[in-house]
Copies of this chain bind each other. A is one copy, B any other.
Amino acid sequence: MTTPHRAPGGFPVVGVIGAGQLARMMVGPAAELGVTLSILAESATASAALVTPSAPVGAHDDLRAVLDFARHCDVVTFDHEHVPGPVLEALAVAGTVLHPSPAALVHAQDKLVMRERLTDLGIRCPRWARARTRADVVAFAGQVGWPVVAKTPRGGYDGKGVVLAQRPEDLADWLAAVGSDGPLRDGILLEERVDFRRELAAIVARSPSGQAAAWPVTQTVQTDGVCTQAIGPAPDLDPGLAATVTEAALRVAGALDVTGVLAVELFEVVDTAGSPSYVVNELAMRPHNSGHWTMDGAVTGQFEQHLRAVLDLPLGDPRPRQRYAVMANVLGGQDEELYSAYRHVMARDPGAKVHLYGKQVQPGRKIGHVTVCGSDLAELVERAEHAAGYLRGTIRE
């Protein structure tokens, strides 16, 4: 196992479990801050491993590999939420400083735990229930009507592990697996289908000593369960609702003792009185796709802020640098060769910030994103979508 080269002057080593694009996007800020990164990589060619000198290969669920890795780090954080609870507990017992802690992280790992806790805190959620049996499903649908949204409490992401059930039979396979050793051990999460106006994300950072900072609320667009576009700050957002959801995210961060970046994914809804309101969809305890715009669009981007937070350094200014930033995700298309489209995009739009993750192109895979900043929202959306579409191969001109 490679031992990370610690920078002189008393600077720490931050360990990251997982070498996806989120870990990769910490590389630039870490180099700027003078902080050393060490990344436990799923493979030597994983996105972040390509750009990090200390990137030992090991599985996030291999206790020995994780413990070995953590010994060389002053603090350990995460690229994803998939490290199993027992591994996290063993790390804590071994004295590893984990941010977020296992007790906080479980709320991003288990949607049933999350729903229970948020409901206790008075944070608005869709109507929800835990279902173990067909009778539970029928009873919940009786309250909220069909269809119902069913989710595996653990292990889902990007729309995976979610089913829109039209009838109890749609969940028959899942119900058969309840109580097993897998993600349905504790039952299925059922939620009402929310009639939302748009999706939002309230992204905050919180440090172990309790300092917190919030970026402006972000508008997001999901296509087939995958985030495809984000705009920060969310245009035409009711100022009262912006304050409410920011306060809710900060309250969740504090109550759950979250350390690092917390993204609260929300639905904007209209309440029974006709006023703008929200319900919480998901939590993520790490930098999040909806916050990628902050890299180019805010004084302090989410990857820098996450590093500052997990090191308990004073947090940076989260304010936007200009009126709007629009981020469009680049999804893989049919063509494995990307460099020609990349040249074209740069030539067409010298102000576009093109970020690529060093990942093999596969259809639909997140392989990069493009951010443009300015004040003319319609123009920014056109530019970001054109660049992303061209890189995917869905736009030719």
Q: Which residues of A contact B (CB under 8 A)?
A: 5, 7-12, 24-25, 27-34, 36, 44-45, 49-53, 55, 213, 299-300, 308, 313-317, 319, 321-322, 336-340, 342-343, 346-347, 350-351, 353-361, 367-368, 373
Q: Contact check, A316 vs B28: say whether CB atoms are below 8 A apart.
A: no
Complex CA–CA separation, A32 to B50 (angstroms): 12
Q: Contact check, A314 vs B343: say whether CB atoms are below 8 A apart.
A: yes
Specify the chain B residue showing the minimal Cβ separation from A211.
B347
A314 CB to closest chain B CB, in angstroms?
4
Query: Does more than half of chain A's interface fall in helix, strand or loop, or is it mixed?
Result: loop
Complex CA–CA separation, A322 to B321 (angstroms): 8
Complex CA–CA separation, A361 to B343 (angstroms): 41
Instruction: Give how many copies assemble into the complex.
Output: 2
A73 CB to closest chain B CB, in angstroms?
16
Contact of A10 among B24, B53, B338 (CB under 8 A): B338
Specify the chain B residue showing the minimal Cβ separation from A321.
B321
Q: Contact check, B316 vs A34: say whether CB atoms are below 8 A apart.
A: no
Q: Contact check, B50 vs A7: say whether CB atoms are below 8 A apart.
A: yes
Which A-B residue pairs are the 3 nearest by beta carbons?
A: A28-B28, A34-B356, A9-B338
Can you list 13 residue pairs at the A/B interface with Cβ under 8 Å?
A8-B360, A9-B336, A9-B361, A9-B367, A10-B339, A33-B356, A34-B358, A36-B358, A52-B53, A53-B55, A300-B350, A313-B343, A316-B346
Complex CA–CA separation, A189 to B336 (angstroms): 54
Most chain B CB neighbours (cut-off 10 Å) among A25, A350, A367, A373: A350
- 14 more A-B contacts (CB under 8 A) besides A9-B338, A34-B357, A213-B350? A5-B44, A9-B339, A12-B339, A25-B31, A28-B28, A28-B31, A28-B32, A32-B356, A52-B53, A53-B55, A299-B353, A313-B346, A316-B351, A317-B351
Complex CA–CA separation, A36 to B358 (angstroms): 9
Specify the chain B residue showing the minimal Cβ separation from A359.
B8
Q: Contact check, A337 vs B299: say whether CB atoms are below 8 A apart.
A: no
Specify the chain B residue showing the minimal Cβ separation from A300.
B350
